[in-house]
């Protein structure tokens, strides 16, 4: 590998937005003093945890701390994942946020430590400054010569001007194609990247605004550039270390970034990249942007992974690690020992712990309001009240799931607003965990692999001593 390549284009992927479990979360909903607003950016309640997350975010933005770790701990459905998503949204485009579920490390294709290393490197950005030479000017004239008989490649001339000068450039086949593709015509202000030959149209020159009437409302007018035609321009882009790794690992190439099928990356590749990045940092060409690595359901990691995390956090390029779990005191995977959250004490000691609390009925109502809006479901107040009760008695998740189901039932009866009867219908159609457990307790003998009697010796029906 002669040189470390960085491809900026891979970041321009567009995502298709679907309504997911957390799509209503647009941030943490904090004010400038980091106080949680009651309802903001899709977030409701959980004020202390949100504020704490805001403080962590501030630390991340200042970029000073490396290798800090935060644990979001609390009962199921109390918004731990939601808060992590809020942090991701609040961080903005530039700071990388990588997220993974702990179970992802149990893949057959790569070792656990490789999976974790990749996750860490996805959370570390490199801001790279590059100076490129460009030609920027207003198009005066494009002349494309007719190819002579027997000659396929076209040639031509392009006249560009600034307010001070005018120059004629010779055009080759490739440039002509790009000009045609960009639909460049006289009066456009364009830039040509000298290294790649890429042409971009900035807009139409103000001087042409009068004599051109076939313009749509989208036409953008710009000033004719001043000064010289050739300019140096600084472009800044942020790529993650993982992206650089993948692009430079010869077996995969950057296409692996699209398929996600990166496989293991050789140690030497990473070493070389780290050296190169350190060199760039010294030369002032690059800066490290530590981001956030979020590992959900962290109790699924095992002792090897935890020990990896311990060490990885000590690296000075380490991102901020945010982990979440809903477990209490439980066995650490891969050992016989129990510990709080299933996390070894030495790692636990490095974590700042944010705990989340169960929601009040009022807060559940507000979250359901937001979800109805997100899912475009009209619902009467009575129905919402009932759904809130259901959410409070069973779980917030269950209530959220009923929204879509109820709206389908409502559509079937050709109504536009979900009412109590629809909620009632889906409530009996889909059982929640409590009712399901109840049902299991009653009818367990009729199911296969029924093991409950052993586990719950107190169950009176199956107690042989009583009969
Ligand atoms: N404070 C909140 N404001 C708005 N929506 C919330 C809030 N808390 C939770 N939700 C929503 O409620 C649902 C359940 O929350 P979430 O998935 O974050 O729970 P969790 O704490 O991660 O639970 P688990 O421990 O089971 O993973 C999600 O759809 C989430 O977006
Ligand atoms: Mg979760």
Q: What is the mean pLDDT of residues 417-441?
A: 89
Q: How far is ligand 1, taken at its centre, from the CA of residue 204, in Å?
A: 49
Angle at 427 between CA 424 and CA 387, to 5 degrees: 75
Query: Are residues 351 and 72 in contact, defined by beta-carbon separation less than 8 angstroms?
Result: no
pLDDT on residue 461 = 42
Q: What is the mean pLDDT of residues 219-231?
A: 88
The answer on pLDDT for 214 being more than 60 is no
Report pLDDT digits (tens) over 181-202. Answer: 888 989 999 999 887 788 888 8
d(CA 160, CA 137): 5
Q: How far is ligand 2, taken at its centre, from the CA of residue 74, in Å?
A: 10
Q: pTM of the prediction? A: 0.75
Q: How far is ligand 2, taken at its centre, from the CA of residue 70, in Å?
A: 15
**Among the atoms of ligand 1, which is closest to the Cα of residue 22?**
31
Query: Are residues 329 and 301 in contact, defined by beta-carbon separation less than 8 angstroms?
Result: no
Please report the sign of the dihedral spanned by the C-alpha atoms of residue 150, residue 152, residue 155, residue 156.
Answer: positive
Average pLDDT, the chain: 85
Domains of the chain: 39-123+291-355 (3.40.50.300), 129-235 (2.40.50.360), 361-446 (1.10.8.60)
d(CA 184, CA 360): 60
**Six-digit token string for 78:** 């109390």
The answer on pLDDT for 69 being more than 60 is yes
- The contacts of residue 200 (CB under 8 Å, 6+ apart) are 182, 190, 191, 193
CB contact burial 43-80 (16+ within 10 A = b; e otherwise): bbbbbebbbbbbebbeebeeeeebbbbbbbbbeebbbb
The answer on pLDDT for 457 being more than 50 is no
Give the distance, in angstroms, between the CA of residue 426 and the centroid of all CA atoms in the same chain: 33
Q: What is the CA radius of gyration of the chain?
A: 30
Pocket test for ligand 1, best of 46, 77, 78, 90 (most atoms within 8 A of CB): 77
d(CA 439, CA 425): 18
- Beta carbon of 325 within 6 Å of any ligand 1 atom: no
- Beta carbon of 395 within 6 Å of any ligand 1 atom: no
Q: What is the mean pLDDT of residues 250-273?
A: 71
The answer on pLDDT for 13 being more than 90 is no
- Least confident segment among 240-244, 389-393, 431-435, 445-449: 445-449
- The contacts of residue 349 (CB under 8 Å, 6+ apart) are none
**265 φ, ψ (degrees, to nearest 5):** -105, 135
- Beta carbon of 21 within 6 Å of any ligand 1 atom: yes
**98 φ, ψ (degrees, to nearest 5):** -110, 140
Query: 286: helix, coil or strand?
Result: strand
Q: How far is ligand 1, taken at its centre, from the CA of residue 238, in Å?
A: 30
Angle at 243 between CA 241 and CA 249, to 5 degrees: 100
In this structure, which ligand is nearest to the CA of 396?
1
| Helix or strand (DSSP H, E) at 245 | helix 241-248
Neighbours of ion ligand 2 (CB under 5 A): 81
In this structure, which ligand is nearest to the CA of 49?
1
**Among the atoms of ligand 1, which is closest to the Cα of residue 50?**
1
Query: Are residues 229 and 134 in contact, defined by beta-carbon separation less than 8 angstroms?
Result: no
- Beta carbon of 79 within 6 Å of any ligand 1 atom: yes
DSSP string, 361-402: HHHHHHHHHHHHHHTT--B-HHHHHHHHHHHHHS-HHHHHHH
């Amino acid at each position: 590998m002669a040189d470390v390549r960085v491809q900026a284009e891979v970041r321009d992927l567009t995502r298709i937005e679907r309504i997911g479990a957390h799509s209503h979360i647009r941030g943490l909903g904090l004010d400038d003093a980091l106080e949680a607003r009651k309802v903001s950016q899709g977030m409701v309640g959980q004020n202390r945890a949100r504020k704490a997350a805001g403080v962590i975010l501030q630390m991340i933005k200042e970029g000073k701390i490396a290798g800090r770790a935060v644990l979001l701990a609390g009962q199921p459905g109390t918004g731990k994942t939601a808060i992590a998503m809020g942090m991701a949204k609040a961080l903005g485009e530039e700071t990388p946020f990588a997220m993974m579920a702990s179970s992802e490390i149990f893949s057959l294709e790569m070792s656990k430590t490789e999976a974790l290393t990749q996750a860490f490197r996805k959370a570390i950005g490199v801001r790279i400054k590059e100076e490129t030479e460009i030609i920027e000017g207003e198009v005066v004239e494009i002349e494309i010569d007719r190819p002579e008989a027997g000659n396929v490649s076209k040639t031509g001339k392009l006249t560009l001007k600034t307010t001070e000068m005018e120059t004629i450039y010779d055009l080759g086949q490739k440039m002509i194609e790009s000009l045609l593709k960009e639909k460049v015509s006289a009066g456009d202000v364009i830039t040509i990247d000298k290294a790649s030959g890429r042409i971009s149209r900035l807009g139409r020159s103000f001087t042409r605004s009068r004599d051109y009437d076939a313009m749509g409302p989208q036409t953008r007018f710009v000033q004719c550039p001043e000064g010289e035609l050739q300019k140096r321009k600084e472009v800044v882009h942020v790529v993650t270390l993982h992206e650089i790794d993948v692009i430079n690992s010869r077996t995969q190439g950057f296409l692996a970034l699209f398929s996600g099928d990166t496989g293991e990356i050789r140690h030497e590749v990473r070493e070389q990249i780290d050296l190169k990045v350190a060199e760039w940092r010294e030369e002032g060409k690059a800066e490290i942007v530590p981001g956030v690595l979020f590992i959900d359901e962290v109790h699924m990691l095992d002792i090897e992974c935890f020990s990896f995390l311990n060490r990885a956090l000590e690296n000075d390029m380490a991102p901020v690690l945010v982990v979440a779990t809903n477990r209490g005191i439980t066995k650490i995977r891969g050992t016989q020992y129990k510990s709080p959250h299933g996390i070894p004490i030495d790692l636990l000691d490095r974590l700042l712990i944010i705990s989340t609390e169960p929601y009040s009925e009022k807060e559940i109502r507000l979250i359901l309001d937001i979800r109805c809006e997100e899912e475009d479901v009209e619902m009467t107040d009575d129905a919402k009240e009932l759904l809130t009760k259901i959410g409070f008695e069973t779980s917030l998740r269950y209530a959220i799931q009923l929204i879509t189901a109820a709206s389908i039932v409502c559509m079937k009866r050709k109504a536009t607003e979900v009412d109590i009867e629809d909620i009632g219908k889906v409530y009996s159609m889909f059982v929640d965990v409590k009712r399901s457990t109840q049902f299991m307790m009653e009818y367990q003998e009729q199911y296969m692999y029924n093991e409950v009697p052993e586990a719950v010796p107190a169950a009176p029906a199956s107690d042989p001593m009583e009969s």
